[in-house]
């Protein structure tokens, strides 16, 4: 008779010891029970809200663009202008910081300063930065512009610096060998290598900034988010549905537009 | 005698290309200036020039952080972590079928279900979790559950997009081998496709979990529980030392979760 098993079971890959697996599974089960217990849903409130949810779904299917159009268009214009200006300002500031944060071309002291600026900008979420800028600069799109510019710096400088650190050193070496100054080296050896990626990242950030501009309005930094917040607070779900559909449509347009532009430019 | 088309200095672009590039830059600058003017039409410049004073004022109020507030934050912190983790799990549950429907090589109908799945992904991705939370709090009342669902709904698009791209990139040789044994569709998925995308799946999930920890920390601003709720109530009473303390806790959580996620992803990939 054969002693081979008739069925095959995939052996465990990561935790090969049986005790570890049982321990992890029980731990997970205990945590899941505890975590679900903290949810504490208020069923009466949810049942009551069900009808509201249906009304919202109805608002999504029959969006009302007209009755609040002046508010919606004002919010959209604020969002769009904020997006473009903050992306441009963010790029203008983040290019020198990105160059300074590249280890292979910047002196040590400059490198550390630039890296800490990047870390600071990346550590805080847009919404928290927006709260502070609104407290300092007052309500409106100007605070939103500053928030998005600040957030752009962390994103763009970090990726630009990493890209500069990854360049082909031979070209920089060749330009240096001609007796070029530091600025000429940046212009002729590094810029051509990182430019396509910089353009791609900028367009990608434009896309992100538009999405974020729809959010920071909730804390008073202007844009379509403020309009949406008001619409939801007033339970005007048909207007809220219209705004959400507009956001989705615009995000789709910016996303496809930016990916098309990226392909076209590269 | 020199050739007329030959110049002493080297130029990268022809004159025409140079002109086009210059015009494109000019257009961009003009558009930016125009947008800037529209945007700042209603700006009250007094507040802007006054900002350094305000910043110094808030800064002096914020420091030092109120350490005695820390014990009160432990429970919201636990809530925030649960909200992020449960939300990620909910997102995964919804995203896996959507990803298989959206991937070109596994979708049952490329005409109807694939565009529908892609629309779900785009819609979920374009709406931030804060907006989802705003809606859900209005519908089902404040609380952790609204936050969990908001995190889940936002995660669907992210996980779904990355997962369906991973599914489309699987190696077709194992798939053909399994088909050649006479396996059905479900068996092909189970034995040829799932093992190939599993590492990517865990990597994506942990990455999203890390992002969700960041997001769930602020969802309380619109009433979805956790640390953000404490932040909102401290901001409302202008208790700046407490705000600093909360921000420090959020920062520490984010750093730890980023470290965990980086370690796990390194171990998997």
* Proportion of chain A above pLDDT 90, given as a percent: 16
Could you tell me if B95 and B160 are in contact, meaning their C-beta atoms sit under 8 angstroms apart? yes
Select the more confidently predicted residue: B158 or B107. B158
Average of pLDDT values for B143-165? 91
To probe the interface with A, which of B140, B195, B243, B264 has the most A CB atoms within 10 Å?
B140
**Residues A42-69, buried b or exposed e (16+ Cβ, 10 A)?**
eeeebeebeeebeebeebeeebbeeebe
ipTM of the complex: 0.78
Q: Which CATH number fits domain B72-268: 1.10.150.120, 1.10.3720.10, 3.40.50.300, 3.30.70.1230?
A: 1.10.3720.10
Q: Please report residues of A whose CB lies closer than 8 A to that of B55.
A: 136
Question: Model confidence over B187-207: pLDDT tens digits?
Answer: 888 888 998 898 889 889 998
Q: Please report residues of A whose CB lies closer than 8 A to that of B264.
A: none
Separation CA B132–CA B136 (nearest Å): 6
Residue with tokens 């086009």: B20
Question: Model confidence over B156-172: pLDDT tens digits?
Answer: 999 999 999 999 888 88
CA-closest candidate to residue A160, choices A85, A83, A91: A91
Average of pLDDT values for A55-73? 81
* Three-state SS at A30: helix
Q: Is residue A159 part of a domain?
A: yes
* Proportion of chain A above pLDDT 70, given as a percent: 97
Q: Is residue A35 part of a domain?
A: no
Cα radius of gyration rounded to whole Å, chain B: 26
Could you tell me if A142 and B61 are in contact, meaning their C-beta atoms sit under 8 angstroms apart? no
Select the more confidently predicted residue: B269 or B72. B72
CA-closest candidate to residue A91, choices A45, A46, A152, A30: A152
Q: Is residue A25 part of a domain?
A: no
pLDDT at residue B5, rounded to an integer: 60
Average of pLDDT values for A132-152? 88
Average of pLDDT values for A50-73? 81
User: How many domains would you assign to chain A?
Assistant: 1
* Proportion of chain B above pLDDT 70, given as a percent: 97
Does position A141 have pLDDT exceeding 90, yes or no?
A: no
Q: Which of residues 98-117 of B touch A (CB under 8 A)?
A: none
Determine the structural domain holding residue A210 and report its residue range.
66-265
Does position B1 have pLDDT exceeding 50, yes or no?
A: no
What sign does the CA torsion over A227, A206, B252, A142 have? negative
Q: Is residue A133 part of a domain?
A: yes
Indicate which CATH number applies to the domain containing A198: 1.10.3720.10
Q: Is residue A11 part of a domain?
A: no
Average of pLDDT values for B34-44? 83
CA-closest candidate to residue B84, choices B148, B153, B158: B148
Interchain pair B86, A35: CB under 8 A: yes
To probe the interface with A, which of B28, B139, B161 has the most A CB atoms within 10 Å?
B139
Q: Is residue A55 part of a domain?
A: no
To probe the interface with B, which of A9, A16, A33, A35 has the most B CB atoms within 10 Å?
A35
Separation CA B252–CA B205 (nearest Å): 21
pLDDT at residue B88, rounded to an integer: 94
Average of pLDDT values for B165-185? 90
Q: Please report residues of A whose CB lies closer than 8 A to that of B122.
A: 248, 251-252, 255
Residue by residue, DSSP assigns A92-152 as HHHHHHHHHT-TTTS-HHHHHHHHHHHHHHHHS-HHHHHHHHHHHH-SSHHHHHHHHHHHH
Does position B12 have pLDDT exceeding 80, yes or no?
A: no
* Model confidence band, residue A148 (pLDDT cutoffs 50, 70, 90): very high
Does position A266 have pLDDT exceeding 70, yes or no?
A: no
């Amino acid at each position: 008779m054969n002693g081979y098993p008739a069925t095959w079971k995939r052996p465990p890959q990561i935790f090969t010891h049986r005790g570890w697996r049982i321990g992890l599974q029980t731990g997970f089960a205990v945590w899941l029970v505890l975590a679900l217990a903290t949810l504490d849903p208020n069923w009466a409130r949810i049942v009551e809200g069900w009808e509201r949810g249906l009304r919202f779904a109805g608002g999504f299917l029959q969006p009302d663009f007209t009755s609040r159009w002046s508010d919606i268009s004002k919010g959209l214009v604020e969002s769009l202008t904020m997006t473009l200006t903050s992306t441009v300002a963010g790029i203008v500031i983040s290019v020198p910081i990105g160059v300074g944060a590249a280890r292979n071309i910047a002196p040590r002291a400059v490198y550390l300063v630039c890296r800490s600026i990047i870390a600071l900008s990346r550590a805080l979420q847009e919404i928290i930065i927006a709260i502070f800028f609104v407290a300092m600069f007052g309500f409106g799109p100007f605070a939103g512009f500053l928030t998005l510019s600040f957030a752009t710096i962390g994103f763009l400088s970090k990726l630009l610096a990493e890209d500069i650190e990854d360049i082909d050193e031979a070209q920089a070496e060749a330009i240096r060998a001609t007796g070029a100054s530091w600025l000429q080296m940046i212009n002729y050896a590094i810029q051509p290598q990182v430019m396509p990626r910089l353009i791609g990242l900028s367009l990608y950030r434009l896309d992100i900034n538009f999405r974020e501009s729809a959010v920071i309005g909730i804390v008073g930094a202007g844009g379509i988010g403020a309009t949406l917040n008001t619409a939801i607070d007033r339970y005007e779900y048909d207007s809220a549905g219209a705004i959400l559909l507009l956001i989705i449509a615009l995000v789709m347009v910016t996303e496809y537009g930016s990916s098309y532009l990226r392909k076209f430019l590269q | 005698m020199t050739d007329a088309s030959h110049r002493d200095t080297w130029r990268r672009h022809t004159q025409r290309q140079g002109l086009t590039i210059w015009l494109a830059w000019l257009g961009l600058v003009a558009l930016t200036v125009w947008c800037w003017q529209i945007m700042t039409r209603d700006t009250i410049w007094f507040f802007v020039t006054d900002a350094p004073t305000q910043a110094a004022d808030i800064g002096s109020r914020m420091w030092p952080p109120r350490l005695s507030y820390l014990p009160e934050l432990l429970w919201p912190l636990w809530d925030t972590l649960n909200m992020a983790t449960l939300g990620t799990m909910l997102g995964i549950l919804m995203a896996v079928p959507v990803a298989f429907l959206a991937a070109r090589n596994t979708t049952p109908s490329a005409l109807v279900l694939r565009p529908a799945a892609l629309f779900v992904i785009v819609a979920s991705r374009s709406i931030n979790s804060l907006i989802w939370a705003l809606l859900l709090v209005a519908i089902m009342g404040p609380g952790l559950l609204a936050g969990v669902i908001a995190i889940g709904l936002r995660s669907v698009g992210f996980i779904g997009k990355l997962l369906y791209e991973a599914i489309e990139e699987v190696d077709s040789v194992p798939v053909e081998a399994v088909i050649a044994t006479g396996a059905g569709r479900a068996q092909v998925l189970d034995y040829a496709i799932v093992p190939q995308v599993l590492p990517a799946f865990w990597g994506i999930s942990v990455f999203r979990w890390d992002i969700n920890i960041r997001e769930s920390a602020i969802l309380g601003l619109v009433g979805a529980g956790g640390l953000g709720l404490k932040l909102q109530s401290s901001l409302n009473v202008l208790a700046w030392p407490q705000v600093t303390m909360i921000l420090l806790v959020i920062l520490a959580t984010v750093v730890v979760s980023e470290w965990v996620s980086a370690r796990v992803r390194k171990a998997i990939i």
